[in-house]
Amino acid sequence: MIATVRRAAVALSTIAALAGGRLAAQSVLLSEVRADAQGRWIELHNRGASSVDLSTWSLHFASRTPSMPQNYWWAFPAGTTIAAGGFLRVHWYQAAPGVPGAGDVFTGGTFWDFLFGLGGEPLRGDRGALGLFRTQVDNQMNTPALVEDWVSWGDQGFPREQLAIANGRWTAGAQAPAIAPGGSIARNTSALAAGAGHAQQWFADASPTPLAPNLSGAAVTSHGQACAPAGHHLLGQPLLRAPSLPLLGNAQFGLALDHTTGIYGEFVLLAWSAGAAPPGQFSVLPPAIGGCAESIDLAQVFAVWLLPAQLITTHVPLSLAGMPPELSGSEAHVQAVVVDLLPYAFPPYQGVSNALQLVFGD
């Protein structure tokens, strides 16, 4: 199936930015994290309309390294600001060069550079967690309301993660992808209000973009209407979505079809097309009471997949790891039909999803 996706994608296209959460009121966010020999840094982004003074803020790193404190705080120096729309990159557990670059700050790499006598340790790509706190005071580090932002990657349940959960800055049991060598985990800050969970706002980025926006061209747009004819046994209208971003290198990319049952022998038929349905297109679906219509151009269909339906949500993994760069900017449209293959099944199909316009980015 993945090979089919690659061939179809190179020929045509893919997808978008669907992400969000409760963080709509935040201005300064954790935006990107890298943790390998070529760079161990944390990028912050101010998406607000005014500059923010970080002089009383701190960064917290939680690890799982045996025989180490596993809790580390670093205080932003007095006078540290992040401009409206700007970025700041914190080089973790590293000494500053003679002349730091614009937008770069360094924590230092000695015991004395960190708060509360705990020292520090390098960021790890396999697992870890970072918190952005609006304080540098010891007895305030257990106050949920002072946790401005949080990300856990590769694992969950890190020290003080529960504070971020209590303040609505993270989700219990969630984790972002581990950070692969040469890559980063990056955040889709353009769609925080779209409803995705906190971890789903983060994606594995094979091409880190320090001090710059994380997304380039990726987009997913829903069009058409989900529909379930009279007599269906779905859990609701079948809704097609992309839980993560269609960025080249994103091994977690895939589709999800909600409200499937998966207990009556249903199958999901996914049809891929180069375009949306033109006006007046004739439907090829069999007649049914309250019948549905296709939202993709049937004359431009280039691939059709059939896979078993799953309980509640049918997941379709479509890894974009290792995809060629020429895929960037290409486009495809996809729509799902839930069908019973039994000869006596009625209605002749259980439902038709909305369609997604997918555009790949890098």
pLDDT in tens, 255-287: 999 999 988 889 999 999 999 999 999 999 988
Mean pLDDT score of the chain: 87
Query: What pLDDT is stored for residue 201 in this prediction?
Result: 84
- Look at residue 12 and tell me whether its pLDDT is greater than 60: no
346 or 311: which leads in pLDDT: 311
Query: What pLDDT is stored for residue 25 in this prediction?
Result: 57
- Look at residue 8 and tell me whether its pLDDT is greater than 60: no
> Which pair of structure tokens corresponds to residue 220?
């997913």
1 or 293: which leads in pLDDT: 293
Q: pLDDT grade, residue 216 (50/70/90)?
A: low
Query: What pLDDT is stored for residue 220 in this prediction?
Result: 87
- Look at residue 223 and tell me whether its pLDDT is greater than 90: yes
Query: What pLDDT is stored for residue 193 in this prediction?
Result: 46
**Span 280-318, pLDDT tens digits:** 999 999 888 888 999 999 999 999 999 999 999 999 999
**Span 70-106, pLDDT tens digits:** 999 999 999 999 999 999 999 999 999 988 899 999 9
Domains within the chain, CATH numbers bracketed: 2-15+219-359 (2.60.40), 23-205 (2.60.40.1260)
Percent of the chain whose pLDDT exceeds 70:
90
Query: What pLDDT is stored for residue 192 in this prediction?
Result: 59
Query: What pLDDT is stored for residue 3 in this prediction?
Result: 41
Query: What pLDDT is stored for residue 189 in this prediction?
Result: 63
**Span 148-200, pLDDT tens digits:** 999 999 999 999 999 999 999 999 999 999 999 999 999 876 555 455 678 88
Query: What pLDDT is stored for residue 53 in this prediction?
Result: 97
The predicted model scores a pTM of 0.62
- Look at residue 69 and tell me whether its pLDDT is greater than 80: yes
**Span 318-336, pLDDT tens digits:** 988 888 877 878 899 999 9
Q: pLDDT grade, residue 4 (50/70/90)?
A: very low
Which stretch of 96-110, 131-145, 259-273, 339-353 has the lowest confidence by average pLDDT? 339-353
> Which pair of structure tokens corresponds to residue 193?
């209000």
Q: pLDDT grade, residue 6 (50/70/90)?
A: very low
